[in-house]
Structure 1
Amino acid sequence: MTFLLLPALLLAPQAYDPETEAVMNRRARPQSVAPARPALPIPPQVAAPFQACLDAAVEAPEAGVAAANRWRMEGGGYYARQCLGFAYARAERWGPATISFEQAAEEAERAGAFVQSARLWAQAGNAALAGGDLAKAQAHFDAALARGLPDGLEKGEVHLDRARALVALGDGVGARQSLDVALEQAPQDPLAWLLSATLARRSGELSLAQAHIARAVQMSPDDASVALEEGNIAMLTDHADVAAAAWARAMRLAPDAPAGKAAADNLTRLSARAKTP
């Protein structure tokens, strides 16, 4: 029976799985360390130097670091520290980026810009996550949520990023709680449905896994990691034909990526076992 193929196909050591992809390969999502929108319109005297600083960081991260530090010394406040964090993130210098976003968040809070502070704590959390400091990442996401964000996509993304940190920390229960909020607040993000489906599969909630991977496939049909997980869940639910088709799609979409290679490996194992008397 195809169900008996599961130990060899899914539980054998693999270099890739969707949770690893969600936490590591996608750890520096563009929106995660992009400049947060201000809680209030930026004062005119701040808008121009802020944009100039960001532009410098985009063009050359180290030039952005220098520009942000100059502006900070001239009294740029938390906007300057925010730009500094952004510049460090552009350079993938995650430790200094985390510190800069932390300092920006604290300064914004002292200035009474609480929503902006929450957004900056979320950016600090993503910088910490990208740098592998998982406990700090969780703490910063908690800080962001504690300071209040309006309902909608932004709050959902923070819960999703918190779930990514908790997955990496091995806290499946906490990750599920944050993912449920993320799915409610940011249902348009296919990564949330993918990670939710993977957690559901691993906890044995196969009906939930099927429903959530179906949403991910609908929203992101050209994502190899989604196709790989679709195949994993199909195999668990005794649909080897669906699994083979999904893995073949993953392999076609990204033959040289970890997801495509894992799918190809699964297809090879499935084929070999099908030929075994």
Structure 2
Amino acid sequence: MPFFLPLLLQAYDPEIEAVMNRSRKEKQEQRATAASAVAPASTARDGGHIPVPAKYAAPLQACLDQAIESTDAGVAFAQKWRIDGGGFYARHCMGFAFARAERWGPAIIAFEQAAEEAERGGEMAQSARLWAQAGNAALASGDAAKARNEFDAALARGLPDGMEKGEVHLDRARALVALGDLPAARDSLDIALTQAPRDPLGWLLSATLARRSGEMPLAQAHIARAVQLSPDDASVALEEGNIAVLTAHEDIARAAWGRAVKLSPQSPAGKAAADNLTRLTPG
């Protein structure tokens, strides 16, 4: 293995690419997520979303639809609805609209205000979800310290065991990695893997963190799980190659990096994998 590959791997941050991929994916899925999140309480089933009372469900869906079509229209709808008694749901929609426009500062404020209003009304689970959305907006803005605080606030309000709690711990771990607090990130990641074991990003970040900490057996086990859950993700393939080359499995590294290039040649992960391939000895 060329001696400069470890330096290259240290310089590249798969966490950053994973966060970028996650943000893009979330933006594509916002419409579906919004629709399931506002199911009326009388019809909603237990699918991980807290049902919205029928009084608010229809106007909230209308507000979100407006925000999807036009950020300005969504904000205007939310402002009018808030005056007309929309409560924290109106502020939630306002945060959603600002987030779609990547106006992270106003989005954070709207989500925080919604969370505080929900808590004043005794809606602790809704408050927790809104603090988590504020955290994701802060993370997207690049303010990892604020994001960590928002995720801590979400967890302090209490969430039931399961996917939702796992996702908040995973997002908290992303913030902690960005802050360089790797031991605390490991603690949150371990909880995330238990609570949300089907999320490949958790296994990817856990493998990356283990590699950076020199825990190579753990890195190998967790990247294998990420590959199993998300075989067509270029970031996962890149990290599989990174771990393989550092554990003297150059053939696996070559195959994994080649897959990353094939899957997404123009992405940062695909370009990093292509660069890594040029540094391997001919096979």
Q: Same-fold call, TM > 0.5?
A: yes
For the residues of structure 2 that align with 1:88 and 1:28, how far apart are their CA atoms? 16
Q: Which residue of 2 aligns with 1:20?
A: 16
Residue correspondence of structure 1 range 87-166 to structure 2 within 5 A = 87-166=97-176
Q: Report how far residue 133 of structure 1 moved.
A: 1.3
Q: Which runs of 4+ in 1 moved over 2 A?
A: 12-17, 22-29, 31-45
| Pair 1:239 & 2:235 matched | no
Match of 2:193, SS?
Answer: helix
Q: Report how far residue 26 of structure 1 moved.
A: 2.9
| Pair 1:71 & 2:81 matched | yes
Percent of residue pairs bearing the same amino acid type: 71
Whether the 8 Å contact between 2:232 and 2:263 is mirrored in structure 1 is yes
| Pair 1:11 & 2:11 matched | no
Q: Report how far residue 45 of structure 1 moved.
A: 2.4
For residues 8-35 of structure 1, give each alpha carbon's deviation from its aligned partner in whole angstroms, at most 9, with x where no partner exists: 1131378743112123443465289765
Structure 1, unpaired ranges of 5+: none
Give the paired residue count.
Answer: 269
Opposite residue 11 of structure 1, the aligned amino acid is L
For the residues of structure 2 that align with 1:22 and 1:252, how far apart are their CA atoms? 18
**TM-score (normalizing by structure 1):** 0.91
For residues 80-125 of structure 1, give each alpha carbon's deviation from its aligned partner in whole angstroms, at most 9, with x where no partner exists: 0000000111111111000000000000000000001000000000
Match of 2:158, SS?
Answer: coil
Q: Which residue of 1 aligns with 2:44?
A: none
For the residues of structure 2 that align with 1:249 and 1:159, how far apart are their CA atoms? 30
Q: Which has the higher contact order (CA 8 A, sep 6+)?
A: 1
Q: Which residue of 2 aligns with 1:260?
A: 270
For the residues of structure 2 that align with 1:53 and 1:166, how far apart are their CA atoms? 33
Structure 2, unpaired ranges of 5+: 42-48
Residue correspondence of structure 1 range 26-37 to structure 2 within 5 A = 26-27=22-23, 30=26, 35=34
CA gap 1:40/1:264 in 2 versus in 1, 3 angstroms: closer
Match of 1:11, SS?
Answer: helix
Whether the 8 Å contact between 2:128 and 2:153 is mirrored in structure 1 is yes
CA gap 1:171/1:8 in 2 versus in 1, 3 angstroms: same
For the residues of structure 2 that align with 1:24 and 1:169, how far apart are their CA atoms? 17
**TM-score (normalizing by structure 2):** 0.89
- Structure 1, 45-54 or 115-124: larger mean CA deviation: 45-54
Whether the 8 Å contact between 2:223 and 2:236 is mirrored in structure 1 is yes
CA gap 1:40/1:169 in 2 versus in 1, 3 angstroms: closer
